[in-house]
Amino acid sequence: MTGNAARPRIRHNDYGPLSPAEPGRWTPSLTVSVIVPAHGGQHRLDLALAALAAQSYPSRLTEVIVVDDGSEPPLRLPELRPENCRMITPSPGGWGPAHAMNAGVAVADGAVVQRLDADMVPYREHLELLLRWQHLTDYLVTIGGKVFVPEPPITPAQVHAAVLADTVPELIDLTSALPSSTEQTIRRLDGLRKSRNPYHVCTGPTMSMHRTFYESAGGFDADVHRGEDTEFAYRLAQAGAVFVPDLAAKAVHLGLPAQRREREATIRAVEPYLAQRVPLRRELRKERGRGWRVPYVEVVLDVSESGEREARAAVEAALTGTLPDVTVTLVGPWSGLPQGRPEGPATELELLAAGFRDDPRVRLADQVPPTAFPVPFRYTGPVDTPLAPDTLEQLTKIMTKDLSGLLYMRLPSGRMAAMERTEAVSRARLIAFPDEPLTQAIEATHGVRHATSPTQDIPDKQPLRERLARLQQSP
């Protein structure tokens, strides 16, 4: 997704300035593909499809794709189902909701994709309430509400009639329904407008987003078989998403939540996946000396004019500080290094390439991508001023506390460096005007902070902006 001046400038996750349409009083135009991953549970699927067949969102704009994730016996489409409904099977070699979702999105035609679990009974306006937000801009993730009930003895025809008449509570006894724990969090944090990490409550049973945004975040990770919704929501946040829960978009989840049945086992099954892929979950990374799939901080050093020993010292300082969860990107003209038999002594860059090419924590790059996605923080600083042991740890604590998007700082040597929050840079790239500096857009959505000692004046930051822009040009 590229920048678009028409996108609203939402600060942090405060979507309050957005004004969605009133249900039934507007004319929808976006097509939506409802993806229903399903593994067994034919009767529950029948109930979910009966409810989808009675939605207020126009059927001409809706398609429903059921993805049969290896059910035995195979699932079938019931007679009572939405007008535009089909069933597919994902490609061999994978399993689970993430694999099924990606398979469904791959064949979807809708501008918006809506995930709905196969054991959900959505109310009549469920899709309409979520989709009205998607008509406002294309970087929102909308989340529906739900309560849990034991599956009652009801038929698809009864569900269809109740949803159509908007009388679901008369059909399904909700007096003893279990509320979703995420809904309690949503209400406590003013609809997530005050949430520091709103991705936490973006669970999978009902959520929607533009398909282009789904794809820009990389889709679901098919290797994540537990907690796939939280892991994907984390990457959506790093891509600049705003999370909008609309609890008026009600649904009934048939069956009790897994955490209520086997809380400890469920949490233990999820944690290894999140520990490797969600670096903001610091409590899951207490084992020092471990390597992680997604680091907490990327350190970018331009070594194109540096000596080998100087660069090695800078890399060592970055990797041996109090924050161990770090990788380093060395920027230089690596692709231009001579190939074949050398004609003279090795250059400084050749020595660096030989020394770091096989180090899994160091990457050699001619240019770096415009953001550190999915790494949450990126530090860019001079090679001739190695990091102090606790610098990265202190900077991440500062930015975590005040939620700033960009932190400029004067180093002890007098040189300048910067720490970026990836979600802020991603958001800025979405909303910035064509000729607008990204720093201005970051200031609007997350804030720009300047750190210096009390005895030093903040220098002109324009040279650093130019240097950052040069380092972060798209390949």
181 closest CA partner among 258, 238, 116, 282: 258
CB atoms within 10 A of CB 397: 12
For the whole model, what pTM was predicted? Answer: 0.92
Q: What is the pLDDT of residue 453?
A: 36
CB atoms within 10 A of CB 403: 16
Residue 366 contacts residue 289 (beta carbons within 8 Å): no
Q: What is the pLDDT of residue 462?
A: 41
**Buried b / exposed e along 32-47 (16+ C-beta atoms within 10 A):** bbbbbbbbebeebbbb
227 closest CA partner among 199, 187, 195, 189: 199
Q: What is the pLDDT of residue 450?
A: 87
Q: Which residues pair with 64 in a beta bridge?
A: 34, 85
Q: What is the pLDDT of residue 469?
A: 46
Q: What is the pLDDT of residue 460?
A: 37
Q: What is the pLDDT of residue 5?
A: 56
Q: Which CATH number fits domain 32-278: 3.20.20.140, 1.10.3720.10, 3.40.309.10, 3.90.550.10?
A: 3.90.550.10
Q: Which CATH number fits domain 297-471: 3.40.50.720, 3.60.20.10, 3.90.550.10, 3.90.1300.10?
A: 3.90.550.10
Q: What is the pLDDT of residue 179?
A: 84
Domain boundaries, the chain: 32-278, 297-471
| Intervals of the chain under pLDDT 70 | 1-5, 258-262, 452-475
Residue 374, preceding bond cis, omega within 30 degrees? yes
Residue 132 contacts residue 23 (beta carbons within 8 Å): yes
- Cα 328 to Cα 319, 362, 389, 470: the distances in Å are 8, 5, 15, 18
- Same topology, domains 32-278 and 297-471? Answer is yes
Residue 296, C-beta contacts closer than 8 angstroms, at least 6 positions apart: 279, 282, 285, 323, 325, 326, 375, 376, 377, 396
Q: Which tens digit of pLDDT belongs to each residue from 92-151? A: 889 999 999 999 999 999 999 999 999 999 999 999 999 999 999 999 999 999 999 999
Q: What is the pLDDT of residue 320?
A: 95
Q: What is the pLDDT of residue 183?
A: 85
